[in-house]
Chains A and B, each alone.
Chain A
């Protein structure tokens, strides 16, 4: 049985707080890694080597900026598009690929579709598909941290569509009432599958919804790494000093489809996408680094080459991992297998033995 708590890259204990100044090159490299992984995964899905994928391209600065403003002990409640957050937390790329493949090394034991990963060792709570449900959970964890007097924040990641969900309302309302140390980080990528942002709500901004719950609402350019970093850092400091929750709206644009099952040509034009891509967060940070004399086209070319090779090789390694033990299907439903499940497993064993089950 795979050890679910196994850690391959643990953050050092001494690193108890977020860095005062973000390392822009480190952030850039992470964003490139996320983008290269995304591009590769879309291809792998088309090749039939993974079953599904939900790309984040366009949201790299928002995700890395938010992550770098957090401390390792903070708890992350992701939606299902937070690849760059996981990478920024130090999750090995291999662990991401193991999850996409659902192999024997998968930390969540093949239980969910690609992108729905979770890594307890870096306080990255496991994702689910229902929209917004993680928002109230993030508030509850923050209430628990308050009770334990732990100096941490919880952060819920969600999209513009989630602002219409029951749990957005309930979560922000509870957080306001109990003044929890929670950051509500909305990546407004303009699209909830096919529904454009302006049809999601009549509100002029999503950020302004914060005021109805008695908390600051901050609108930030999600393509601007430093702007996101500063907004989240400020929200974190406010939360830790007893100032309660903050709603942050990071304006981004989803460059890719909602998922590999989606065809965005049905609801948006190439012109819209091209216009959005002019504000590509990766090109923006690269431009800033080049202007500051810290980066060159040549170094950039090298980086992309290295990263693409690493991504390809790591995926090929993950493909060589053993398949899951089929009997593990009955594990983790409850802490201990119930008599009913034991009976089903016995029948499963017999069917497996008789070749009735096709693996």
Chain B
């Protein structure tokens, strides 16, 4: 066990995976000599060489398109997109190609690429270094969407992503890349996909979050606890596949659901969760499902702090839920 932050956990995991399997390689912009703009790939080029830590030209469609070709050939490429905000030149390759290769070939050509991308706000990055657009990808059949919230999960989920047979979009909460540290196992134990984590148990209300919103939900739960409200916090960990059973079990217990994400509300992931609860847990609900989310505006620069959900907004939503019935 060692104490480390999320960036360090990712770096360590990439190194371990590359040591273990010569087919694993990393490619992206500035990932080699520079070690990545967030240093997630720091030192890898010294250890594994430029053949396996590939500094690419500045083209996201080139990165993902070539990663797909490598994967079809049998390698296990891990592509870094510098910021999720810059992934759109590769959207066609991800949505039309990567996610559909297995299906459209009748199983002949599975394409397995792990795409790592830092996402989300809280670093004063303005419109184009802050967005949280996981829902676009969750809507696409054939690609898994994974978002860790702790150093330990970052390691375990990344190991799972690399070992998985399907394409994986691995979104890294850059706001808590370094601010949050924790004990990380030296083993290569995987955190399986489709298993939500109960961050803390509670009986009065369920708060569902992922990525950088998990600590926000935790802080809200702490504050509510001081007032005698017992809050259950669930970290979804993987949006695709979703641990629906964990979501339903929690709401069946508490009867109240608050969904927290920094992505915009309309058609955000919370809409899907809310629909599942309406379809399958309506009779357990004591109050309407509430969403605490970013607004349906572009991501603002100067007003970032009022855009992003904070613990106070979560507390307010919980109180609203408690008063509703």
A-to-B contact residues, CB < 8 Å:
2, 4-5, 75, 77, 106-112, 116, 118-120, 125-126, 128, 130, 133, 135-145, 147-148, 154, 166-167, 169-171, 173-174, 177-178, 331-336, 338-340
Contact = CB atoms under 8 A, between A and B. Distances in A.
B35 to A, nearest CB: 20
B241 interface: yes
B100 A141 contact: no
A339 B241 contact: yes
Which of B52, B66, B110, B166 has the most CB atoms of chain A within a 10 A radius of its CB?
A: B66
B100 A136 contact: no
26 contacts: A118-B108, A120-B108, A125-B72, A126-B101, A128-B96, A133-B93, A133-B97, A136-B68, A137-B66, A137-B69, A137-B97, A140-B65, A140-B67, A143-B66, A144-B73, A148-B73, A148-B74, A171-B62, A173-B57, A174-B56, A174-B59, A332-B102, A332-B107, A334-B102, A340-B240, A340-B242
Nearest to A133: B97
Please provide the 9 A-B residue pairs with the shortest distance between their CB atoms, ordered closest to farther.
Answer: A140-B69, A136-B65, A140-B66, A170-B62, A144-B73, A109-B106, A335-B165, A141-B69, A126-B105
Given A126-B104, A141-B72, A339-B242, 14 more contacts: A4-B107, A111-B104, A111-B106, A118-B104, A125-B72, A130-B92, A130-B96, A136-B66, A137-B65, A137-B66, A140-B70, A142-B69, A143-B66, A334-B144
Contacts of B75: 144, 147-148
B62 to A, nearest CB: 3
Interface of B: 25, 51-52, 54, 56-57, 59, 61-62, 64-75, 77, 89, 92-93, 96-97, 100-110, 141-142, 144, 164-166, 194, 240-242, 244-245
B65 A167 contact: yes
Contact of B74 (A133, A136, A144, A331): A144
A4 B70 contact: no
Contact of B244 (A133, A148, A339): A339
Contacts of A2: 106
Contacts, number: 168
Contact of B102 (A139, A171, A173, A335): A335
Nearest to A338: B241
Contacts of A120: 105, 108-109
A130 B69 CA distance: 16
A106 B106 contact: yes
B68 to A, nearest CB: 5
A45 B19 CA distance: 54
Contacts of A338: 194, 240-241
A177 B57 contact: yes
B70 A144 contact: yes
A151 to B, nearest CB: 14
A148 B101 CA distance: 22
A332 B244 CA distance: 22
B155 to A, nearest CB: 23
A174 B57 contact: yes
Nearest to A127: B104
Contacts of A119: 108
Given A128-B96, A136-B62, A143-B66, A75 B73 contact: yes
A118 B100 CA distance: 13
A118 B109 contact: yes
Contacts of B64: 136
